Amino acid sequence: MTPRIAVIGAGLAGLACATGLRRAGFPVTVLDKGRGPGGRMSARRVETPRGQVTFDHGAQYFTARAPGFRAQVEAWALDGVCAPWPAAGDDAWVGTPAMNAPIRALAQPLEVVWGRRVETLVSRAKGWTLIAEGAAPLEAEIVILAVPAEQAADLLDAHDPAGARLARATPAAPCWTLMASFPERLPVAADIFRSDGVIGWAARNNAKPGRGDTEAWVIQASPQWSAAHLEDPAEAVAGALAGAFAELAGVAWPAPLSLAAHRWRYARSGTADAEALWSPQAGLGICGDWLIGPRVECAWLSGQALARKVAAAPA
């Protein structure tokens, strides 16, 4: 009998893995705690007096260097769900019309259940039961964990102590992110600022292809500043980042149309140097950016690698 597979996490790694497994003929269900597609490639819609503005509030752009991912990105470009963004680099790409578009496209042909947080894994004689609050337990012969390292560690503790240790040894850096829209274009020529002070990165979101006209900036605190201010209230963080950005860009901070700060507790992952982990005996696989490195491309490569391993040696 072909084993049924449950993938926990519908970020790029989980969806790349689920896509590969589905192509290999496995029945796959993907569960994600989020309300919609994105994970750390998500986009935030904000209502303003000038209408809706969408911010890429996680990943800002991605590169495609490995041949397999390059082919995937070129296919997405043909489908209109990503485009080059030369302002960020010769090989920089962004989702269009927002960063989550490739995630949406990958999820579309798959069975994905949104708003489903898996809290506990129960090991059975041959397979797993996934427990999520407010939903019937789900049974599967194979479980794939495609979540950030810190969240993987919690689910792995009872079943794979070595995997849990590896995940805990690969912590992610946090990132406070400010999203601000304005009635007028800021008098700043550059679309991107990179710095190693308070602000790590700031970008004019509407300079990316397909974003519309409203002036909108995504301003990310550096990992060091984010860690030092992790528990600060969002309003205080918004004020501090607005001030630091105004100083960096050399502008007065005008009254914004909208202003929101988002705290990513787990933003840029560590690097476990493991590609993807698969135990056919346990029917347990692990993928995600943190197995390779803190980038979009790494998440896709890890998910694809795990699908190949599982298809070659199913549980």
Ligand X SMILES: Cc1cc2nc3c(=O)[nH]c(=O)nc-3n(C[C@H](O)[C@H](O)[C@H](O)COP(=O)(O)OP(=O)(O)OC[C@H]3O[C@@H](n4cnc5c(N)ncnc54)[C@H](O)[C@@H]3O)c2cc1C
Binding site for ligand X (CB under 6 A): 8-14, 31-34, 39-41, 58-62, 117-118, 146-148, 151, 175, 177, 220, 264, 267-269, 288-289, 294-296, 299
Distance CA 216, CA 97 (A): 14
CB 302 within 8 A of CB 288: yes
With CA atoms as reference, report the closest residue to 267 among 123, 115, 150, 134: 150
Q: Beta strand pairing status for 93-95 and 82-84?
A: antiparallel
Q: Beta strand pairing status for 284-286 and 142-145?
A: parallel
Shortest approach of ligand X to residue 288 CB, angstroms? 4
Judged by CB, which is closer to ligand X: 105, or 296?
Answer: 296
Judged by CB, which is closer to ligand X: 211, or 268?
Answer: 268
Judged by CB, which is closer to ligand X: 40, or 309?
Answer: 40
Minimal CB distance residue for ligand X: 11
Shortest approach of ligand X to residue 12 CB, angstroms? 4
Shortest approach of ligand X to residue 10 CB, angstroms? 5
Shortest approach of ligand X to residue 255 CB, angstroms? 26
Starting at the edge strand found earlier in the chain, the sheet holding 199-204 runs 192-194, 199-204, 215-221, 173-182, 258-268
Shortest approach of ligand X to residue 247 CB, angstroms? 21
Q: Phi, psi (5° rounding) for residue 295? A: -140, 155
With CA atoms as reference, report the closest residue to 7 among 28, 36, 37, 33: 28
Shortest approach of ligand X to residue 51 CB, angstroms? 25
Judged by CB, which is closer to ligand X: 219, or 315?
Answer: 219
Judged by CB, which is closer to ligand X: 153, or 242?
Answer: 153
Judged by CB, which is closer to ligand X: 148, or 256?
Answer: 148
Continuous H helices in the chain: 12-23, 67-78, 101-107, 149-156, 161-168, 223-228, 234-249, 296-312
Question: In b/e form, how buried is each residue of 145-180, taking b as 16+ CB within 10 angstroms?
Answer: bbbbbbbbbebbeebbeebbebbeebebbbbbbbbb
Shortest approach of ligand X to residue 185 CB, angstroms? 23
Residues 34, 304, 25, 282, CA torsion sign: negative
Shortest approach of ligand X to residue 312 CB, angstroms? 22
CB 213 within 8 A of CB 206: yes
Judged by CB, which is closer to ligand X: 66, or 254?
Answer: 66
| DSSP secondary structure, 231-245, as one string | TS-HHHHHHHHHHHH
Judged by CB, which is closer to ligand X: 133, or 184?
Answer: 133
